[in-house]
Structure 1
Amino acid sequence: MKNLSLKLITVILFNIFVFATRTNGQTNTLRGQGSDTMLPVVEALVNTFSSSGSIDVEGGGSSLGFRGLSDYAVQFALSSRKVKVGEKERIEDQYDHLMEKVIAFDALSIITHSSNPVKKLSVQTIAKIFKGEITNWSEIGGKDIPILVVTRDENSGSFGFFKSEVMGSAPMRKGSVEVQSNSAVVEKVSDEEGAIGYCGIAYVDEVVQPISVSINNKDYVYPSFRNALQKIYPLSRPLYLYYRDSEKSTVQSFVKFALSEKGQQVVAHKGYIPAF
């Protein structure tokens, strides 16, 4: 009986140690993970906020950020979409409340090859292209060449937002090219004359052509910084930082900096739209 009690006490003490290690960490380094779209701006915020290397961030997709929170692996998640109900429940089951802060806005830009004569598309037409109902550019006023759809992987917040706002419940076209980052989308679209894809506004450059988008087939809006700032571009979206309430004391100073005047200047300088 005495040995059993001793073993029980040992197990309890071990579990307390593991919990303390996971929640408090054995170093002072904060870790963040998630949205590839947000990675450049969060890295810039980190570099401006702290030169001591006390915050590490990495991409991989919004879904991986939420997984990291639920697995004790990170203190905050970067997400270019809103947290899903199941993700929120898994995190809050273990850690009290999940905190949400919008630190910037983005314009999810529809891009084509720079030589493509098609300059504008409705959301409905974009959906038909990505579903495979329109397969040649000649069907919508372009050249007689097949359309190559370039999309993101399912861990991507951009994929989740695009599915929600454009595709709905419809599956992605068979034969679509799936890539792992915004940069890879831009590279693939710039290399293929018939390609179309989507990426964050900060990744758009002269090697691809951004498309003006309409939700009513009449008013087409270009994905510019100004139009996104005024919230008139149809595919504008908030960019979030998520963290557990139990980690507030360690994360909040960085979040406050991101939302400060200086932090929002960093956001704008990196080509993103300030939160206010």
Structure 2
Amino acid sequence: MRTVLSLLFTLGLVTLASGCRRPTGSAGEDAGLPSPQGAPKVPQETMTVKGSDTLVILVQRWAERFMKAHPEAKIQVTGGGSGTGIAALINGTTDIAMSSRPIKDAEKQKLRQREPHGPVELPVARDGITFYVHESNPLDTLSIAQLKGIYLGDITNWKDVGGKDAPIVVYSRENSSGTYVFVKDEVLGGEDFTVRAQTLPGTAAVVHAVAQEKNGIGYGGAAYAKGVKELKVKKEPQGEAVAPTAENIQSGTYPLSRGLYFYLPQEASGVEKSFIDYALSPEGQQIATQTGYFPVK
């Protein structure tokens, strides 16, 4: 009888140990569930991507398509601005930071205190910063010097740049935004925005405000320009007016073209690498084009 009880006890321990095995995310053959249509296995894992509001639309599309093919992968995409995403990368609360500006040297140094070999920079798409006005605004072109004057507060009436006699209502992004930093550096020459600028949380909010305000002007990524007029931009006051078309942005002819980036604390592996490979694949870059962005070369 004692032998039988001992055998049952041993079998119970084996059964208990089998029941405690992690069903997902562990190494070995059970690390991932079979993906549809013969797609490679991806470990079940929640990955976070945070940062640039400019990139949110595109990265959400990539995540939706990737998770449809790999239901065992869970990707959370949130905005908040490039600076917010990079800060999250530094403190270890996101796996990937989205940024519409290059990472700053000071940010690199902070990250290297935790990850000595970081960061890893990956260009994932291209974009052009466009300036929006109301569809009824008769102007279609401004020079960078004129835009600088408007956003510094030196030019306050549309008639001073060839428009109608009406006060200019200025909209801007919050200072955690990579788009804000890009405009400050490339248009304002590092000077501060006018105190008259109304700060809004996200490019979509800027577009909505300009669409409602006949005397408004705002800026943001080309992908968001719906229901507003995009201005052509002259690099020099007497130079050529260049429209923010796909060809001009990708070639760099448009003077306010820029790269869009993923930043990681170290080289990608596992689900992160699979997701990045998808984003940079022909299909992923085609989604970028369809969404209003431009592929990396």
TM over 0.5: yes
Shift of 1:119: 1.0
Relative contact order, higher structure (CA 8 A, sep 6+) = 1
Query: Are residue 213 (structure 1) and residue 233 (structure 2) matched?
Result: yes
Matches of 2:267 and 2:220, distance apart in 1: 33
Q: What SS does the aligned partner of 2:45 have?
A: coil
Shift of 1:244: 1.3
Matches of 1:247 and 1:209, distance apart in 2: 40
Q: Runs of 5+ in structure 1 lacking a partner? A: 1-26
Matches of 1:56 and 1:174, distance apart in 2: 35
Contact 2:62 2:279 in 1 (8 A): yes
Match for residue 62 of structure 2? 45
Bigger radius of gyration:
2
Matches of 1:238 and 1:255, distance apart in 2: 16
Query: Are residue 65 (structure 1) and residue 82 (structure 2) matched?
Result: no
Aligned-partner residue type, residue 52 of structure 2: S
Aligned-partner residue type, residue 78 of structure 1: M
Q: What SS does the aligned partner of 2:283 have?
A: helix
Match for residue 53 of structure 2? 36
| TM-score normalised to structure 1 length | 0.87
Query: Are residue 56 (structure 1) and residue 76 (structure 2) matched?
Result: yes
Shift of 1:250: 4.5
Instruction: Count how many residue pairs are aligned between Structure 1 and Structure 2.
Output: 249
1:89 corresponds to which of 102, 109, 113: 109
Matches of 1:44 and 1:194, distance apart in 2: 33
Match for residue 177 of structure 1? 198
What fraction of aligned residue pairs are identical, expressed as a percent?
Answer: 35
Matches of 2:78 and 2:259, distance apart in 1: 19
Match for residue 281 of structure 2? 260
Question: Equivalent residues in 2 for 1:228-243 (5 A)?
Answer: 228-243=249-264
Matches of 1:229 and 1:215, distance apart in 2: 17
Query: Are residue 134 (structure 1) and residue 161 (structure 2) matched?
Result: no
| TM-score normalised to structure 2 length | 0.81
CA distance 1:244–1:250, shift in 2 (3 Å): farther
Matches of 2:190 and 2:130, distance apart in 1: 21
Contact 2:120 2:267 in 1 (8 A): no
Contact 1:75 1:247 in 2 (8 A): no
Query: Are residue 187 (structure 1) and residue 227 (structure 2) matched?
Result: no
Shift of 1:110: 0.6
Matches of 2:128 and 2:192, distance apart in 1: 23
Match for residue 290 of structure 2? 269
Matches of 2:283 and 2:161, distance apart in 1: 45
Matches of 2:278 and 2:65, distance apart in 1: 9
Shift of 1:229: 2.2
Contact 1:182 1:200 in 2 (8 A): yes
Contact 1:229 1:273 in 2 (8 A): yes
Matches of 1:104 and 1:246, distance apart in 2: 19
1:200 corresponds to which of 216, 221, 226: 221
Q: Which one has the bigger helix percentage?
A: 1
Match for residue 188 of structure 2? 167
Match for residue 100 of structure 2? 80
Shift of 1:228: 1.2
Matches of 1:73 and 1:46, distance apart in 2: 19
Kindly report the root-mean-square deviation, in angstroms, between the aligned alpha carbons of the 2 structures: 1.3
Q: Runs of 5+ in structure 2 lacking a partner? A: 1-43
Aligned-partner residue type, residue 238 of structure 1: G
Q: What SS does the aligned partner of 1:273 have?
A: coil
Matches of 1:146 and 1:178, distance apart in 2: 18
Aligned-partner residue type, residue 56 of structure 1: Q
Match for residue 37 of structure 2? none
Query: Are residue 107 (structure 1) and residue 128 (structure 2) matched?
Result: yes
CA distance 1:173–1:48, shift in 2 (3 Å): same
Q: What SS does the aligned partner of 1:106 have?
A: strand
Match for residue 23 of structure 1? none
